[in-house]
C-alpha cells in the first residue's frame, strides 16, 4: 500500500508527504498501544489485590526505561515523559476497570 511506504522526514517534499508519514506512524502506534493494553488487561486478571494495580516503583521503572530509550532514539524527554505519564495513568485506570469487572464477575457466580 502506498500510504505505508516509509519516507524519511528529510525526504518529504511537501506537507502531503509529511502528513502521510505521520498517519503511517500513528497507525503503527495504535497497533502497539493496543498490544500494550492486552498486557494491562492480563495484569488486571492476574493481580489478586486491587491496591496492587498502582505500583509506584513500576511506574518509575517504566519511565526510566522510556527516557533511556528516548535518548537513544532522539526523542526529546519533554515529549516522551508527559506522553508516557498519560499513557501509564490511563492504562492504570483501564487495569482497575479490568480488575473490578473480574471481581464483579466472581461475586456474581
Residue 106 has pLDDT above 90, yes or no: no
Q: For domain 2-108, say whether CATH 1.20.59.10 is its number.
A: yes
8 A C-beta contact, residue 18 and residue 12: yes
Print burial letters for 22-47: b (CB count within 10 Å at least 16), e (below 16). Answer: eebeeeeeeeeeeeebeebbebbeeb
Residue 1 has pLDDT above 60, yes or no: no
Residue 60 has pLDDT above 60, yes or no: yes
Domain-wise residue ranges, the chain: 2-108
Amino acid at each position: 500500500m502506498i500510504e505505508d511506504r516509509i519516507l524519511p522526514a528529510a525526504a518529504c517534499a511537501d506537507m502531503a508527504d509529511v502528513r502521510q508519514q505521520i498517519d503511517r506512524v500513528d497507525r503503527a502506534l495504535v497497533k502497539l498501544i493496543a498490544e500494550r493494553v492486552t498486557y494491562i488487561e492480563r495484569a488486571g486478571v492476574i493481580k489478586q489485590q486491587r491496591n496492587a494495580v498502582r505500583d509506584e516503583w513500576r511506574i518509575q521503572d517504566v519511565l526510566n526505561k522510556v527516557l533511556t530509550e528516548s535518548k537513544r532514539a532522539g526523542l526529546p524527554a519533554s515529549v516522551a515523559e508527559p506522553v508516557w505519564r498519560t499513557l501509564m495513568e490511563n492504562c492504570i485506570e483501564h487495569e482497575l476497570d479490568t480488575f473490578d469487572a473480574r471481581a464483579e464477575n466472581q461475586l456474581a457466580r
